[in-house]
Every structure is written in C-alpha cells, then in structure tokens.
Amino acid sequence: MPPISDASRDFHDRPALLEARGLAFARNDEPIFGPLDFALHAGEVVLIEGDNGAGKSTLLRVLSGLLAPGSGEIRLRGEPLTLARLSPQVALLSHQSGLKHELTALENLRFAAGLHGQRKGISPATALAGVGLDGYGEVPTRQLSAGQKKRVALARVLLAPVALWLLDEPYANLDLDGIKLVNRLLERHANGGGAALITSHGAYAYTSGTPRRIPLSPSRPPRAGEGAPAGAERGASARNPHHPFGELPPHAGEATE
C-alpha cells in the first residue's frame, strides 16, 4: 500500500486546510509543546510523533478547540480562526470514546448527526456499516467490546461533515482488519479533499509506509509542589471558554464515559 500522504500531491496548490504558527501550550508555566509551525493541506495525512507525555493529545485538544493555546495562531483555509469558530469544523477522535453507553450504537450516531449534521451521502446506518458493524446498530453501546466501541467512534468521525480529522491513537484496540479499515478511511478521506492529523505508537508505521511527521519533544515530569490545586482539573484554566459545548469537543464528547 502506498503512503497515505501521497494523496496530498494533487491538493498542494490550494491554501492549507490547517496552519499552526508559533503554536504553543503550557501548564502552570511548564511548556508542554511548541512553538510549532506546520501546515496541513487537503489530501494529507500527517503523523504527530512523540514519546508518552510529549504532548500529542494536548496538541490535538488545542487544535480541536477544547483547550486554548498559550500562544500562537491557528488558521483554517488561510483565515485566522478563533477557537469558537474552529471547533465545529473538526472531528476529534480522542482516547475516550465519547459515546453515551446507555444509547445503542445507532442512537449514538443519530445523536451526533442531530447535533452536528452529517456528511452528504452518508447516514448513521451506512457509517456503522462502513466500520464493519452492520448488525450492531441496536446493541447498547455498553455491551460492545473496546474495539467495537472504537469502531463506533470512528463511524461518528466518518459521519461528521468536516474536512479536518484529528485522530488520537485511532488504531488502539483494533484488530488487524480494523487497522486496515482505519487506513482505508484515511485514504478515502484524503483522496476526497479532507486531511487528518493522527497520533500512533506503531500500527500506522507498520501498515502505511512513511507519512510526513510532526515531532514533539518529551516534556519533563512536574517537580514536587507543582501542579493544579487540590480538587481542580489540571490545565482547566486553559480550557476554551467559548467552546460551544463547554468542555466537550463537538465530535469527542470527552466527558460522557
């Protein structure tokens, strides 16, 4: 299989779908990442690389509008964007599935489509079939395995009417067929003019050649006495107060598990 990022060639004459300029994030004055400068063009899949704790998830949370950057600028299609405008235009797959476990798989997708709309030509049912879960629509999400939940979360990304995918460890919990499925979805999305930033600790490199990479340096552990006040969520002061869903990114639903 050719590198997924090859699909970017035809789209490089267009403005970058996403651009970060001097983008940096810190907690309690401790740098987590940056300053970073990079561009993501339509048609590209780019791998964010770094050891555990390097700041990959944090970067995706900043780019999704869940956290406000400490400094720097994010541009979408060449336009400087406020976080309030950026967040509804990206689909974030995070470590938490964001699924409501009391709802069935289909109900979760219908709920997401009702909130955010759905991509033309795709429905909750076809999105579910597209991730290999045909026949699981009426199963309560709590009864699904970890890999099946990951597939439902991927179906929600598939359904979202957005060009920009931010996928944090999209291969985690997936079997080999699931890993190939993610690569097929990424390839199709990129070939259709979308783009994706992904993190992965291995499966991507194993299955997909050599994508362009954004390296993040490891951060150091907090010193004794550092950190958030007792009872407070660390980093909470950096949350985006303008986010339409408060702490929830539109396609992640981080707090629903």
- The residues that touch ligand ATP, with contacts defined as CB under 6 A, are 27, 32, 50, 52-58, 219, 233-235
Residue 15 CB, nearest distance to ligand ATP (Å)?
A: 28
Nearer to ligand ATP, 14 or 234 (CB): 234
**For residues 16 and 32, which CB has a smaller minimum distance to ligand ATP in the complex?**
32
Residue 2 CB, nearest approach to ligand ATP (Å): 27
Give the nearest distance from C-beta 18 to ligand ATP in angstroms: 18
DSSP codes of every residue in 112-168: HHHHH---TT--HHHHHHHTT-TT-TTSBGGGS-HHHHHHHHHHHHHHS--SEEEEE
Nearer to ligand ATP, 2 or 221 (CB): 221
State the minimum distance, in angstroms, from the CB of residue 44 to ligand ATP.
21
- Closest CA relative to residue 98, chosen from 42, 182, 180, 155: 155
| Cα 247 from Cα 237, distance rounded (Å) | 12
- Count of positions (residues) in the chain: 257
**Closest CB to ligand ATP among 52 and 145?**
52
- How far out from the chain centre does Cα 119 lie? 17
Q: Which is nearer to ligand ATP, 79 or 230 (CB)?
A: 230
Shortest distance, position 50 Cβ to ligand ATP, whole Å: 5
Q: Are 257 and 248 in contact (CB under 8 A)?
A: no
Collapse the DSSP code of 58 into the 3-class scheme (helix H, G, I; strand E, B; otherwise coil) and give the result: helix
Query: Are the CB atoms for 150 and 178 separated by under 8 Å?
Result: yes
